[in-house]
Structure 1
Amino acid sequence: MRRTLVVLFTVVLLLLQIAVYIPVASSGNGLTIVVTFPFLYEDIDELVCKGDAVVNLVKPGMDPHEYLLTPSDIDLIKRADLIISTGHAPFETRIRELAESGQIHGKLIELPSISGVTILRHPQTNVTNYHGIQFYSRNYELLIEDVEHALEMLRPECASVYRASAEKLLQDLAALNSSVRRFSGWLAVVDLPPLQYVAVWLGLDVKQVLAREEDVPITPQDYTNAESIISSAKHVVVIATIGSAAEDKLRDMARRHGALFIALPNPLTYNGSLEYLRTVAQIVSNVSLATVTQQAGGSSVSTPMLVGVVLFVIAVSIIMMYLWFKRR
């Protein structure tokens, strides 16, 4: 009997040791999710289930357009279950190449390739603008829906969590859409490509984006063209990125021509796209139209000028009446 117990105990110990080396089924594992740009991190992190991990390749404040993948980045990407990319920066092109060559086995979602996404063109070059696509709210909605569906497929046991989280995000977006201030019928001049999508979300018709690309300097002719639009439009909003090379010049143009000026934070300093849109909505709500000089035919008409015109008309009227009575 004792010998039998010893044998059974030994077998149990062996089974326990073997069990340590048996891989855990994927249904019990959390997912590894990689996002390429900093402003995607919080939005995706809001979706995940317990045990999932979201990793941001490029940290806030860094320029993703100059980022190069490190060996540890490539190792992480190869192990990831899901990679979410804006699909336009050089390092994101490298990720696509790795996926196409079969070196990445996880699912790759590229924002421009999502069905139904609206992609704008640069007003001056007519080249596709891939910068900040998700800042147009419908595109953000499609991104969240696509990622949520992918998460469900990868980890079905967490489907209800993913659906509830996505629904909450989209409800927050809908509330923001219903309350944000719109500028229907107004024109816009913006300094950087991502702000084209922000301006369109605000209802603006973007006539110029000064920077033709993120790494292309703004030329004197670009400023001349911008001033021509600002000086001739009746209702125009000038939007500049805080700290950008164009901020001071655009602010001065807006002041001289009586245009509405709005300074917005750089989206790359944010960890989430929805949070950035909330910030934009708050800034826009605090802008006073009373500070905008009324324009007609491109000429600014100030209050002192109007007073002068009125006084001149009154003076002429008095003189005419005096001459008329004198003749009688």
Structure 2
Amino acid sequence: MKRLTLLGTVAIAALIALSGAASAKTLKVVTSFTVLGDIAKQVGGSNVEVKNIVPPDGDPHEYEPTPDDAKNLKEADVVIVSGLGLEGWMDRLISGSGYTGTPVVASEGINTRTMKEDGEPVTDPHVWNSPVNVQVWVKNIEKAYEGADPEAAELFKANAENYTKELKDLDAYARSKIDPIPQEKRKVLTSHDVFGYFGREYGVTFLAPLGLSTEGEASAADVAKLIAQIKKEGVKVYFFENSNDPRLVQQIASATGAQSGGELYVEALSKEDGPAPTFEKMFRYNVDQLADAMAKQNVAEQ
């Protein structure tokens, strides 16, 4: 009789646990673009449902919000943006959606750098191209989730700690690939000035015809100046980006003799069947492409 009672108690406890798990809160989360969306999923795990605004291979500078975006935003428990001027369309979307909360700015607290836009200094918003910066994103997202669902705080903390370890591994991986390349050979041409934080972290010089955003157009004088600089500094490799038009950088490469190193994923993840469907895969892919191209350039010049 005692045995049956014990088994019954265990069964009841299991049912209660399952009932509690089934009724656990699932946060509705909206993120501005795919890179941020993946980090939000990593921190939230099964306790969040993430809907992303700018799609895979999309340009976060030039995106035009849709009615579905407004609907998702209004229903969200947590809205996360990168900030620093990246999502210029977000204020318009918020005001038209009826969303009454305050978006979480994932980049708050990052040691930012400045860049030139139309001759004026502005804050560089492309912080995610350094996994050191993404660690700050993780902390800010964990804090936001904890505020929205305190009961799941320990789960969010564990997810954040595990993913932070992955980010530290990514940083170490980049250094292992790039450190052997001589400093003077770490020079690359890209479509626009998006790799500033990567360059600062790993000692790579990136040259680009466009500055902060892909929305602007490079003047003939700026292009001519860049071509002269590329020739002077001996830049031999260029890359185009999955989220914007490659024609300008290809024209500059043609004028300088730079050879294509392929496509990089910098402002948007690829689709699921592509080479960069997560931030971890995107970063490793970019590091491999850049390091291999610079290493080959170095060998060719020896």
Q: What amino acid sits opposite 2:200 in the alignment?
A: V
**What SS class does the counterpart of residue 103 from structure 2 fall into?**
strand
**What SS class does the counterpart of residue 80 from structure 2 fall into?**
strand
Residue 280 of structure 1: CA displacement? 0.8
**Selected match of 1:36 from 32, 36, 60:** 32
Percent sequence identity over aligned pairs: 17
- 2:92 aligned partner: 94
Kindly indicate whether the alpha-carbon contact (under 8 Å) linking 2:265 and 2:282 is maintained by their aligned counterparts in 1: no
Task: Provide closer, same or farther for how the CA distance between residues 51 and 237 of structure 1 changes in structure 2, counting only shifts above 3 A.
Answer: same
Kindly indicate whether the alpha-carbon contact (under 8 Å) linking 2:45 and 2:159 is maintained by their aligned counterparts in 1: no
Kindly indicate whether the alpha-carbon contact (under 8 Å) linking 1:193 and 1:214 is maintained by their aligned counterparts in 2: no
**Structure 2, unaligned stretches of length 5 or more?**
1-19, 271-276
- 1:248 aligned partner: 250
Aligned length: 261
Residue 37 of structure 1: CA displacement? 0.8
- 1:319 aligned partner: none
**Structure 1, unaligned stretches of length 5 or more?**
1-23, 295-302, 304-328
- 1:71 aligned partner: 67
Q: Deviations over 1:127-164 (max 9, x none)?
A: 32544222123321111111011112211222222112
Residue 291 of structure 1: CA displacement? 3.5
Task: Provide closer, same or farther for how the CA distance between residues 53 and 63 of structure 1 changes in structure 2, counting only shifts above 3 A.
Answer: same
Q: Deviations over 1:50-98 (max 9, x none)?
A: 3421001221133333333333322321221111113333321324657
Task: Provide closer, same or farther for how the CA distance between residues 133 and 98 of structure 1 changes in structure 2, counting only shifts above 3 A.
Answer: farther
- 1:81 aligned partner: 77
How far apart, CA to CA, are the structure 2 residues paired with 1:143 and 1:48? 13
Kindly indicate whether the alpha-carbon contact (under 8 Å) linking 2:209 and 2:222 is maintained by their aligned counterparts in 1: yes
* Map 1:188-267 → 2, pairs under 5 A: 188-206=188-206, 208-212=207-211, 213-233=213-233, 236=235, 238-242=237-241, 244-252=246-254, 255=257, 262-267=261-266
**What SS class does the counterpart of residue 66 from structure 1 fall into?**
coil
How far apart, CA to CA, are the structure 1 residues paired with 2:100 and 2:118? 39
Moved over 6 A (4+): none
- 2:12 aligned partner: none
Structure with max Cα Rg = 1
Residue 194 of structure 1: CA displacement? 2.1
How far apart, CA to CA, are the structure 2 residues paired with 1:198 and 1:263? 18
**Selected match of 2:169 from 175, 189, 193:** 175
Residue 288 of structure 1: CA displacement? 5.6
How far apart, CA to CA, are the structure 2 residues paired with 1:151 and 1:215? 33
Q: Output the TM-score relative to the length of structure 2.
A: 0.73
- 2:13 aligned partner: none
How far apart, CA to CA, are the structure 1 residues paired with 2:296 and 2:43? 41
Q: Deviations over 1:216-268 (max 9, x none)?
A: 2233323322222222226x575421461234234445546xxx864332432
**What SS class does the counterpart of residue 217 from structure 1 fall into?**
coil
Kindly indicate whether the alpha-carbon contact (under 8 Å) linking 2:269 and 2:282 is maintained by their aligned counterparts in 1: no
Matched, 1:56 2:52: yes
Q: Deviations over 1:255-314 (max 9, x none)?
A: 46xxx86433243243543332111112234336354454xxxxxxxx9xxxxxxxxxxx
Q: What amino acid sits opposite 1:74 in the alignment?
A: A
Matched, 1:161 2:160: no
Residue 174 of structure 1: CA displacement? 1.0
Q: CA RMSD in A?
A: 3.2
Task: Provide closer, same or farther for how the CA distance between residues 49 and 265 of structure 1 changes in structure 2, counting only shifts above 3 A.
Answer: closer
Residue 201 of structure 1: CA displacement? 3.7
Residue 40 of structure 1: CA displacement? 1.8
Kindly indicate whether the alpha-carbon contact (under 8 Å) linking 2:33 and 2:54 is maintained by their aligned counterparts in 1: yes
Q: Output the TM-score relative to the length of structure 1.
A: 0.67
How far apart, CA to CA, are the structure 2 residues paired with 1:124 and 1:205? 20
Task: Provide closer, same or farther for how the CA distance between residues 50 and 279 of structure 1 changes in structure 2, counting only shifts above 3 A.
Answer: same
Q: Which moved more, 1:146-155 or 1:123-132?
A: 123-132
- 2:282 aligned partner: 276
